[in-house]
A and B are shown apart, each in its own frame.
Chain A
């Protein structure tokens, strides 16, 4: 039905897919597995014409295709349901399904009856019932997904890609989705199913293809593998980066930050954790497992259903990050461009942003000489390579940008720094420098929470690791238990307790 072979993809000089194969038969549900950043999404974007492969070929029902855009992929029978829906919330299911290809009467008006009838037929194929006449935004997430699927089917899709469809569904809704998938399988539709939840793979899938770091690892029948084997295929044995030696907190180091309970959404899991002085606590888990939200909730930058924080044993409630800063807790956000830097500012202005209190004259004015002195000292300390403090921050490499964000916090006598994806998009050399800086910080008595999707980094840097899954912490591991198999197992198959 669908054969992808030798697919390669490079962005600039960096190759992210190194010759990937994927073969999907009609009437099967095929799981595409891999860690964050393994190349699943890139592969699917190539399949539907959004990205163009550097090499390799796409064959559908024996015919080779090269898609120049999404529309051509749709015409070839491919339908894809992305994690973020492409539905218009104020239109009904019928209107969404026929958007931009509305059926019209001879007068050019909308033929609403014909569209409704056609929509009802397709939805009947799914073996479900859906309200057709209310705006999409009044439907549940699962129902919206069914509308997306129905839309793809109305375009005669014979290959359906579901990109993490279960990530936002309740267990009941997942069952419902699987029911629909089985219906479609019976009708000969080929389904590519992406999910991080291994038990779902065993429940619904027929075959599996595993990717790791852009490499094709292998394909097999679900019946031939077990949980451990899958995790091993996903994680592999990889060359460890060079990390500075773990020093760990001093024996009996005091708890500087304690989160007694945090519940991100009403009805979701409730988690708690402690951070000791001089410790690096890793937050591991899949994208969307609630790591960043938990950190933001502590600082008052995310509205959690419940959040109880103790700083040095005293209960605190922060309503904005400025208050957390006053208690010496700072965040280095995951997306430097969108959350970390003011890209139109110079290096100096970016570092100064939360430091003005340190160089005032006359009460209100900026002491520009002191500002510059301080900035240069901070830049030296984190070893920013640049044309000088006045150069614009968007002219720097990713690693140097990250150092600028770090420099902002240097002079605050911080107790707790939260690094969210500290080395994302940073080259290997700069990564090592960032790791060294983090250890320098803990040696000074800072405590660090490191949120990371890169397992080697979590393993190489953390003194303890909290593993997140579905919005809460499912396990906290330390010592020898910090290894990829154990963390991945918790991240993908751990038990989540829901508390009302």
Chain B
């Protein structure tokens, strides 16, 4: 079944067996099974795991990487990659905080400027990849270095604290029992789903990842689409920065180191092909939550943090291996 399994499954619903086959062949099947298996294991290992407060806690922890992974999904679907998301997030948050604290600007100006930084760097990546015709991995690696360096220069290497107190709402606020970052994450995923599944732009994203030459020859403006996906990734990095800034109540130039790898892991665990063309945004959400549960669960069980990285690494390998055999 193709990646659009969720939009329409056609006539294959006619019998229970066919429906079962459709579920099992959906690209979401494997990530879901992984999520269930890991959750059950964690539930046995820790009494606390299935408590509402722990689940909300896990989702809140997941939110930042989860939001970064949205932009990453767009980019990877076109066959690209964005290594700069963690550094762009850090720079965006640092500049937002700097404008508020050092320049005395109103909070909303700082936040908008932060979004502008994310968008600007995303556009930069997109131009370099689509018109500069350079490999995405190199372009975004360079942007990662540039963004990280600019953040350190701007801040002198120190966190910028003393933000207006309402900023913390983005990081630790709640609506009812649901943390604000979780709400933000859900909204962003919903928007991404609409873009990918309900607009021509979304279809063009998949088309480029599926066969860029064919897309171009049939009249898709491939360069513009590529520019857009990197811009989206820049914006989601900046949105993640708002949550991060709210949680830390400071602009941290050193934040988010290695987050790009977690975001890529979430996308790939969610069943998106690293070569592009196939994958679902919902899968990325599942992948991000799966990673979060692993982190949370391994903590709850009290496993040495160094060992946790080793375990996570092997789990990712295993998941990808099973995914390959599955198809």
24 contacts between A and B (CB under 8 A): A299-B217, A301-B216, A301-B217, A320-B222, A321-B217, A321-B218, A322-B219, A322-B220, A324-B219, A330-B219, A339-B217, A341-B211, A342-B207, A343-B210, A344-B206, A345-B210, A346-B2, A349-B206, A353-B207, A356-B203, A357-B200, A365-B199, A366-B199, A366-B203
Q: A400 an interface residue at 8 Å Cβ cutoff?
A: no
Q: Which of B89-143 contact A (CB under 8 A)?
A: none
Q: Given A345-B207, A365-B199, is A353 in contact with B213 using a C-beta cutoff of 8 Å?
A: no
A340 touches B214 (CB 8 A): yes
Q: How many residues of B contact A (CB 8 A)?
A: 32
Cβ–Cβ < 8 Å partners of A354 in chain B: 218-220
CB distance from A417 to the nearest CB of B (A): 12
Q: B221 an interface residue at 8 Å Cβ cutoff?
A: yes
Cβ–Cβ < 8 Å partners of B4 in chain A: 346, 349
Q: Given A338-B213, A366-B200, A392-B2, is A345 in contact with B206 using a C-beta cutoff of 8 Å?
A: yes
Q: Which residue of B lies closest to A355 (CB)?
A: B200
A-contact 0/1 string along B1-22, CB 8 Å cutoff: 0111001111100000000000
Q: Which of B224-240 contact A (CB under 8 A)?
A: none
Q: How far is the CA of A360 from the CA of B204 in the complex (A)?
A: 15
B210 touches A340 (CB 8 A): no
CB distance from A46 to the nearest CB of B (A): 31
A345 touches B217 (CB 8 A): no
Q: B66 an interface residue at 8 Å Cβ cutoff?
A: no
Q: A390 an interface residue at 8 Å Cβ cutoff?
A: yes
B214 touches A338 (CB 8 A): yes
Top 8 closest pairs, chain A to chain B, by CB:
A356-B200, A325-B219, A342-B210, A390-B10, A354-B219, A322-B219, A354-B218, A322-B221
Q: How far is the CA of A301 from the CA of B8 in the complex (A)?
A: 34
User: Among the listed A340, A341, A342, which residue makes an inter-chain contact with B206, where contact means beta carbons less than 8 Å apart?
Assistant: A342
Q: Given A338-B211, A364-B199, is A408 in contact with B218 using a C-beta cutoff of 8 Å?
A: yes
Cβ–Cβ < 8 Å partners of A349 in chain B: 4, 203, 206-207
Q: How far is the CA of A345 from the CA of B204 in the complex (A)?
A: 11
Cβ–Cβ < 8 Å partners of A322 in chain B: 216, 219-221
CB distance from A327 to the nearest CB of B (A): 11
Q: How far is the CA of A346 from the CA of B2 in the complex (A)?
A: 8
Cβ–Cβ < 8 Å partners of A333 in chain B: 213-214, 217
A341-B214, A390-B10 given; 9 more Cβ-contact pairs under 8 Å: A320-B222, A333-B213, A333-B217, A342-B215, A344-B277, A388-B10, A388-B11, A390-B8, A390-B9
Q: How far is the CA of A408 from the CA of B214 in the complex (A)?
A: 12
B203 touches A353 (CB 8 A): yes
User: Among the listed B10, B201, B204, which residue makes an inter-chain contact with A391, where contact means beta carbons less than 8 Å apart?
Assistant: B10
Q: How far is the CA of A366 from the CA of B200 in the complex (A)?
A: 6
Q: A331 an interface residue at 8 Å Cβ cutoff?
A: yes
Q: What does DSSP make chain A's interface, helix, strand, loop or mixed?
A: mixed
Q: How far is the CA of A3 from the CA of B3 in the complex (A)?
A: 53
Q: B174 an interface residue at 8 Å Cβ cutoff?
A: no
Q: What does DSSP make chain B's interface, helix, strand, loop or mixed?
A: helix
Q: How far is the CA of A331 from the CA of B220 in the complex (A)?
A: 13
CB distance from A371 to the nearest CB of B (A): 10
Cβ–Cβ < 8 Å partners of A301 in chain B: 216-217
A-contact 0/1 string along B189-207, CB 8 Å cutoff: 0000010001111011011
Q: Which residue of A lies closest to B194 (CB)?
A: A365
Q: B57 an interface residue at 8 Å Cβ cutoff?
A: no
Cβ–Cβ < 8 Å partners of B206 in chain A: 342, 344-345, 349
Q: Given A343-B210, A388-B10, A391-B10, is A353 in contact with B198 using a C-beta cutoff of 8 Å?
A: no
Q: How many residues of A contact B (CB 8 A)?
A: 35
B211 touches A343 (CB 8 A): yes
Q: A352 an interface residue at 8 Å Cβ cutoff?
A: yes
Q: How far is the CA of A345 from the CA of B215 in the complex (A)?
A: 12
Q: B308 an interface residue at 8 Å Cβ cutoff?
A: no
Q: How far is the CA of A340 from the CA of B215 in the complex (A)?
A: 8
Q: How far is the CA of A490 from the CA of B217 in the complex (A)?
A: 30
B-contact 0/1 string along A295-338, CB 8 Å cutoff: 00001010000000000000000001110110000110100001
B221 touches A360 (CB 8 A): no
Cβ–Cβ < 8 Å partners of A344 in chain B: 2-3, 206, 210, 277-278
CB distance from A441 to the nearest CB of B (A): 17
Q: Which residue of A lies closest to B8 (CB)?
A: A390
B-contact 0/1 string along A99-124, CB 8 Å cutoff: 00000000000000000000000000
Q: B223 an interface residue at 8 Å Cβ cutoff?
A: yes
Cβ–Cβ < 8 Å partners of B220 in chain A: 322, 353-354
Cβ–Cβ < 8 Å partners of A408 in chain B: 218
Cβ–Cβ < 8 Å partners of A352 in chain B: 203
Cβ–Cβ < 8 Å partners of B277 in chain A: 342, 344
Q: How far is the CA of A410 from the CA of B201 in the complex (A)?
A: 21
Q: How far is the CA of A174 from the CA of B228 in the complex (A)?
A: 49
Cβ–Cβ < 8 Å partners of A338 in chain B: 211, 213-214
- Specify which of B7, B214, B218 lies most central, judged by the most chain A CB atoms within 10 Å of its CB: B218
Cβ–Cβ < 8 Å partners of A343 in chain B: 210-211
Q: How far is the CA of A330 from the CA of B219 in the complex (A)?
A: 8
Cβ–Cβ < 8 Å partners of A341 in chain B: 211, 214
Q: How far is the CA of A402 from the CA of B35 in the complex (A)?
A: 42
CB distance from A69 to the nearest CB of B (A): 28
Q: How far is the CA of A299 from the CA of B219 in the complex (A)?
A: 10
B10 touches A340 (CB 8 A): no
CB distance from B129 to the nearest CB of A (A): 16
Q: How far is the CA of A356 from the CA of B2 in the complex (A)?
A: 20
Cβ–Cβ < 8 Å partners of A342 in chain B: 206-207, 210-211, 214-215, 277
B-contact 0/1 string along A364-406, CB 8 Å cutoff: 1110100000000000000000001011100000000000000
User: Among the listed A345, A360, A368, which residue makes an inter-chain contact with B2, where contact means beta carbons less than 8 Å apart?
Assistant: A345
- Specify which of B198, B201, B217, B278 lies most central, judged by the most chain A CB atoms within 10 Å of its CB: B217
Q: How far is the CA of A299 from the CA of B204 in the complex (A)?
A: 20
Cβ–Cβ < 8 Å partners of A325 in chain B: 219
Q: Which residue of B lies closest to A360 (CB)?
A: B200
Cβ–Cβ < 8 Å partners of B222 in chain A: 320
CB distance from B51 to the nearest CB of A (A): 40
Q: How far is the CA of A365 from the CA of B202 in the complex (A)?
A: 10
Q: How far is the CA of A225 from the CA of B204 in the complex (A)?
A: 57
Q: How far is the CA of A145 from the CA of B204 in the complex (A)?
A: 42
Cβ–Cβ < 8 Å partners of B201 in chain A: 364
- Specify which of B11, B200, B221, B277 lies most central, judged by the most chain A CB atoms within 10 Å of its CB: B200
- Specify which of B7, B11, B215, B219 lies most central, judged by the most chain A CB atoms within 10 Å of its CB: B219
B214 touches A320 (CB 8 A): no
Cβ–Cβ < 8 Å partners of B223 in chain A: 320
